[in-house]
Structures are given as structure tokens and as C-alpha cells.
């Protein structure tokens, strides 16, 4: 029963979209009518511009942030600055950050704490690789990522995104059953082992090749509360269709 939970379609633009594309996108979605939260994570360098161009019902966030507010961290983006720009949320622990930039559980835990301290909502990503799925380790991996990354965090401002690594950018989507099983496990795990908001109230999004064509079926599962969407969130028509079909 997901009637109480908030639902989201979050666009993760990764290192895509130039200023022209952003202007066009935000103009096209300016009168979007939707029952889901409409959030977009552009490149950090574009947050300021997005804040100026967006309409009220869109929230802007970052794709990553540093684990400290300031200091000698060349090239990093401070969560405090992200908040000052007016952003609402930050994605932490995306698999591309975990694998390409070797971000481990301890760092992700610190980033989450700092982001929450700055009153940013955290979209915390977890997910198994194909190898781990084939070795029947899905639950073990999810449990360890949740426990190590969020261990004693006591906050209402955390959303979980389950993103199986093998489904990200590959065109292969987890079946509603595979995703649903993982979401059910995650909700049960939060209930028993974490201090986040009541597990029944925590929104758990699915990510990995979500498209307008499969969002409805995915979200029909009682434990799937929306999508974290890469490729299919770049074009305004597709983003609007995701909202309509969800
Ligand atoms: P995708 O990306 O929708 O392009 O698979 C999802 C993500 O990485 O968040």
C-alpha cells in the first residue's frame, strides 16, 4: 500500500545538456501538471542557471557533493554552496561515483551526513552488479550498502534509489518482479535495521533504463515509488511522458 508515500520522477542528467538544451527543457516543462514530484539533477555548474529558469513545481539538485562544507578539496562541490544556490536535493552513491571514482561506504556516509546537515534531501543510491546478481548476492550487497552508508542516520530527508548496475544505461530494465523483490527487501531492511523515517513512509525509487514505456508497469508495484531516470529524462517530451504514464 503506497497511498501515503510521496512519488518522484527524478531526472539524472549526468554530464549532459548544454545551456540551449536546458533552456528549452525548462521552458517546455514549465506548465507540467503531475501528481509526482518533478526533480532534475543537472551538472553542478548549471544549478544556478536552472534555478533562474525553472518554474515553481520543479526542484533542482546536485548529482554529488563533498563530505565537508569547505577546505582544501580541489575540484569538489560543497554541499553548503549547493544549498546556497537554492538546490533542494543531492544524489549520493550513484554507481558511476562508486565505480568510476572509487567512492566507498565510509565516504558516502560522511557525504550523506553533511548533505543532511545542510538541509538537502539525499537520494541515496544502491544496487548490485550483474556478477553479484548471478552469484545470488543481491540482498547481501543491498544490506551492506544500506547499513554502511546510512547506519545511524535518523532523518526523514532520505530517499532510496535502487539501481541495479547492469540496468543503468544498458536498455535492459529490471523486470517489475525483480525490482519489486529488491524494493520489498529494502523496505524490510530499513524497518529492522535503520533509523530513517518509518520504512512505510520512505520513498524507494527504481533506476536503470526507465522509459515512458515501462514506468507504469514498474510503478504499479506497491513498493516502487518512482524513478531515477538518466537517458529518458533528457528530452522534455520524454520527461513529460514519464510523468503522464507513471
Ligand atoms: P538510465 O540511468 O536511465 O540512463 O539507465 C539511470 C541512472 O543512472 O540514474
Would the CB of 168 count as within 6 Å of ligand 1? yes
Position 23 in a domain: no
Question: Rounded to the nearest whole angstrom, what is the distance from the C-alpha of residue 208 to the centroid of ligand 1?
Answer: 5
Q: Please tell me the residue having the least CA distance from ligand 1 atom 3.
A: 230
Position 205 in a domain: yes
Instruction: Look up cell 515512458; give the residue.
Output: 212
pLDDT score of 2: 62
Would the CB of 91 count as within 6 Å of ligand 1? no
pLDDT score of 197: 82
Mind telling me the catalytic residues?
94, 163
Would the CB of 229 count as within 6 Å of ligand 1? yes
Q: How far apart are CA 167 and CA 104, in angstroms?
A: 21
Position 112 in a domain: yes
Question: Looking at residues 103-118, what average pLDDT do you find?
Answer: 98
Q: Nearest 10 degrees: CA dihedral of 131, 110, 191, 136?
A: 10
pLDDT score of 167: 93
Question: Looking at residues 159-186, what average pLDDT do you find?
Answer: 94
Position 190 in a domain: yes
The number of the ligand 1 atom at minimal distance from the alpha carbon of 209 is 5
Neighbouring C-beta atoms of residue 209, cutoff 10 Å: 22
pLDDT score of 4: 78
Neighbouring C-beta atoms of residue 214, cutoff 10 Å: 19
Position 1 in a domain: no
Per-residue pLDDT for 1 more than 70?
A: no
Query: Taken in order 237, 1, 147, 158, is the CA torsion positive or negative?
Result: positive
**pLDDT (tens digit, 9 = 90+) per residue, 83-97?**
999 999 999 999 999
**pLDDT (tens digit, 9 = 90+) per residue, 20-69?**
999 999 999 999 999 999 999 999 999 999 999 999 999 999 999 999 99
Task: Assign 240 a pLDDT band (cuts: 50, 70, 90).
Answer: very high
Q: Which domain holds residue 200?
A: 38-232
Cβ contact 148:105 at 8 Å: yes
Question: Rounded to the nearest whole angstrom, what is the distance from the C-alpha of residue 66 to the centroid of ligand 1?
Answer: 22
Position 11 in a domain: no
Share of the chain above pLDDT 70, in %: 99
Give the CATH number of the domain where residue 139 resides: 3.20.20.70
* DSSP reduced 3-state for 124: strand
Q: Which helix (H) or strand (E) holds 191?
A: helix 176-193
Would the CB of 99 count as within 6 Å of ligand 1? no
pLDDT score of 75: 97
pLDDT score of 103: 98
What's the number of domains the chain is made of? 1
Q: How many CA atoms lie within 13 A of 117 on its CB side?
A: 15
The per-residue pLDDT of the chain, averaged, comes to: 96
Would the CB of 161 count as within 6 Å of ligand 1? no
Question: Looking at residues 186-194, what average pLDDT do you find?
Answer: 96
pTM of the model: 0.97
Q: Please tell me the residue having the least CA distance from ligand 1 atom 7.
A: 230
Cβ contact 67:88 at 8 Å: no
Position 7 in a domain: no
Position 151 in a domain: yes
Amino acid at each position: 500500500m503506497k497511498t501515503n508515500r510521496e512519488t518522484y520522477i527524478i531526472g539524472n542528467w549526468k554530464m549532459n545538456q548544454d545551456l540551449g538544451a536546458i533552456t528549452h527543457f525548462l521552458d517546455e516543462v514549465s506548465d507540467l501538471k503531475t501528481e509526482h514530484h518533478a526533480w532534475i539533477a543537472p551538472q553542478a555548474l548549471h544549478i544556478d542557471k536552472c534555478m533562474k529558469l525553472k518554474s515553481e513545481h520543479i526542484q533542482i539538485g546536485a548529482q554529488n557533493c563533498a563530505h565537508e562544507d569547505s577546505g582544501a578539496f580541489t575540484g569538489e562541490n560543497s554541499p553548503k554552496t549547493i544549498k546556497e544556490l537554492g538546490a533542494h536535493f543531492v544524489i549520493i552513491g550513484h554507481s558511476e561515483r562508486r565505480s568510476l571514482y572509487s567512492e566507498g561506504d565510509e565516504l558516502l556516509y560522511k557525504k550523506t551526513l553533511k548533505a543532511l546537515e545542510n538541509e538537502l534531501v539525499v537520494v541515496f543510491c544502491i544496487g548490485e552488479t550483474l556478477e553479484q546478481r548471478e552469484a545470488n548476492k543481491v540482498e547481501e550487497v543491498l544490506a551492506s550498502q544500506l547499513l554502511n552508508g546510512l547506519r545511524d542516520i535518523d532523518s526523514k530527508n532520505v530517499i532510496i534509489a535502487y539501481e541495479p548496475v547492469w540496468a543503468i544505461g544498458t536498455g535492459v530494465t529490471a523486470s517489475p518482479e525483480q525490482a519489486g523483490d529488491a524494493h520489498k527487501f529494502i523496505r524490510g531492511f530499513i524497518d529492522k535495521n535503520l533509523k530513517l523515517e518509518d520504512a512505510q513512509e520512505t520513498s524507494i525509487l527504481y533506476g536503470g533504463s526507465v522509459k515512458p514505456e515501462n514506468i507504469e508497469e514498474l510503478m504499479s508495484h506497491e513498493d516502487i515509488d518512482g524513478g531515477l531516470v538518466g537517458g529518458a529524462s533528457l528530452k522534455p517530451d520524454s520527461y513529460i511522458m514519464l510523468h503522464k504514464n507513471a
